[in-house]
Structure 1
């Protein structure tokens, strides 16, 4: 499974999955933890042009996954919650379908809120992922990217605290280890506030220290495995950075029209611990969707700005993506078609061609 596909889930699918708990299959009784089985069947065909490819060079992506969750009262004031979720079925790359690869944690909840420990989304990435990367905007908006200004995006082993709701305000914070760097940690949080019973505001941040970007390379020689030619290797210092990222955004329906808008701005910076050089990059996302009964249409645009570098060592350019998705909900099934175009391909790539046109056709079902 290509990492890009993680952020290409349709709006309708996510809407359906929010209610998946009501359809989950209960395995146990109250005495055995009320264990539920839930999951998603999701298969799509994906093709693209660019880099000497054409849209007929398609692949079949299988994002099917399954999970188990439950809860049980441990004492009068402590309810233990737990979840184990598999990765995607696809074995070519990312998850390999391993049980426990996706959100897998144990926690406690009560009047004090909820604490979870284990593999889970970071507060920052949870907001980036939804609603601001769908449909198919993640290749540009997801990774804060070309300057390696990455936060601890996606899932990581962490401790996360969800405070009790304060009216229309919800807050959560989390911390964990920041990759493979020595004594590296990260800390982040997110706040969501619903105003006027309609507009939802999002704000989130993340700070990481001693994040290892690359290893030290010693001078020497290597042999080309194809030609056998001897080539010199230039010595390079390892790169360790301190990172900071924030996002502000909103979701707003347009009354009585079936139309809603979501938009966000994200800024990230990385400071080289050794040189104190700072690379920074801004990015933004705008998404509009329209629903008429079971039929939905979603149009999204996201872009990153050129990287700004104190010592001009990073000359990476920004990228943009535009994507249109048509989808439906038919007896719980969600068929969809997505087409779009990416400038510079995103992900900090240096492509042979400046533009990529992509298309995806899929069917998903949550249970």
Structure 2
């Protein structure tokens, strides 16, 4: 009897790791919370205190070795609202795919290559001072026009080619009803067969230098009479490290915005940070020009901040940001996260925020 029990225990111990390997699941996430004072600079509204869950998320991912250098890969990532109960499921990059010597092919929901380029240089990404408050944004609706995470997408990511990585994504038709964080929804009653889009990028990283270039195009509709827009954007980024000093820049040219179909806009930004031990000093400067044909429709954003790294995974931060809107622009703080103040910012207003944050990655 004792020998049988011992044999059973040994068999269980041997088989358990094999089972774990075939059902490999990693749990990861970011909890990023800020307490911020936001001033809309609109009417008689007072400065208000906001508790913002700045793109906090939790994810599950895994891989299975299929042999011959081929693996099946998958990921399910969801937004987490630290300041609210509940929350949607699988709202972020969620896909199934294959990975091998040819690169990776993903099917599902994923950030576009053009969006991912901007994230490589932004010092205040995933905060109320995110560069998406201006870059790629629509000053009329406040929504992001280009920094998207569309559904119904196939993505190709090349292997690293001596520092060069290529990426391409195609988003298929979305039918009559759209979804949040996707290309603009098709208009009910219109011909939706040509509702698609694509995004491509190339980035090169070698030592202290990083360069990237991307192009994205959307085919969409503006009303039920099938009037079409071919909306597009070019975006270029650059980064350079000098010891503990990092510099970054982005330039973009957007054409055919959904709200102002015939108009184009330029935007650019400069980013710098300097590490002093556990302390990192950061600053961003962003600007978007006028829509063609719409005078005084541009804006600027100034952001300064400091991070203190409590550990490799936990960081406390302090930041201040202000947007300076021209007379016919209404860009707002926090719109990139959907956490702007409760008041709609009036054209020409100068909203600002002062915040204290805590971020933990696992």
Q: Report the TM-score when normalising by structure 2.
A: 0.76
CA RMSD of aligned residues (A): 2.8
What is the alpha-carbon distance in structure 2 between the residues aligned to residue 147 and residue 278 of structure 1? 14
Residue correspondences, number: 305
Give the match's secondary structure for 1:125: helix
Shift of 1:91: 7.6
Query: Is 1:346 equivalent to 2:327 in the alignment?
Result: no
Alpha-carbon spacing, 1:289–1:133, altered in 2? closer, same or farther (3 Å): closer
Give the match's secondary structure for 2:171: strand
Query: Is 1:179 equivalent to 2:184 in the alignment?
Result: yes
What is the alpha-carbon distance in structure 1 between the residues aligned to residue 212 and residue 86 of structure 2? 33
Structure 2, unpaired ranges of 5+: 1-16, 173-182, 187-191, 336-343
Query: Is 1:300 equivalent to 2:291 in the alignment?
Result: no
What is the alpha-carbon distance in structure 1 between the residues aligned to residue 298 and residue 226 of structure 2? 25
Residues 83-120 of structure 1: per-residue CA shift (max 9 Å, x gap): 1111132587xx96222111111110001110011111
Assess if the C-alpha contact under 8 Å between 1:192 and 1:200 holds in 2: yes
Q: Partner of 2:341 in structure 1?
A: none
What is the alpha-carbon distance in structure 2 between the residues aligned to residue 180 and residue 341 of structure 1? 31
Give the match's secondary structure for 1:171: strand
What is the alpha-carbon distance in structure 2 between the residues aligned to residue 77 and residue 249 of structure 1? 33
Quick check: which one's strand share is greater?
1
What is the alpha-carbon distance in structure 2 between the residues aligned to residue 298 and residue 53 of structure 1? 30
1:138 to 128, 131, 149: 131
Give the match's secondary structure for 2:331: coil
Alpha-carbon spacing, 1:297–1:238, altered in 2? closer, same or farther (3 Å): farther
Shift of 1:73: 1.7
What is the alpha-carbon distance in structure 2 between the residues aligned to residue 65 and residue 142 of structure 1? 23
Q: 175-184 or 122-131, which moves further after superposition? A: 175-184
Structure 1, unpaired ranges of 5+: 1-25, 217-236
What is the alpha-carbon distance in structure 2 between the residues aligned to residue 128 and residue 239 of structure 1? 30
Q: Report the TM-score when normalising by structure 1.
A: 0.75
Q: Partner of 2:300 in structure 1?
A: 320
Query: Is 1:202 equivalent to 2:196 in the alignment?
Result: no
1:80 to 57, 72, 76: 72
Give the match's secondary structure for 2:204: strand
Assess if the C-alpha contact under 8 Å between 1:137 and 1:323 holds in 2: no
What is the alpha-carbon distance in structure 1 between the residues aligned to residue 51 and residue 351 of structure 2? 18
Alpha-carbon spacing, 1:106–1:171, altered in 2? closer, same or farther (3 Å): same
Shift of 1:128: 2.0
Residues 260-289 of structure 1: per-residue CA shift (max 9 Å, x gap): 1101111100188xxx96210000010110
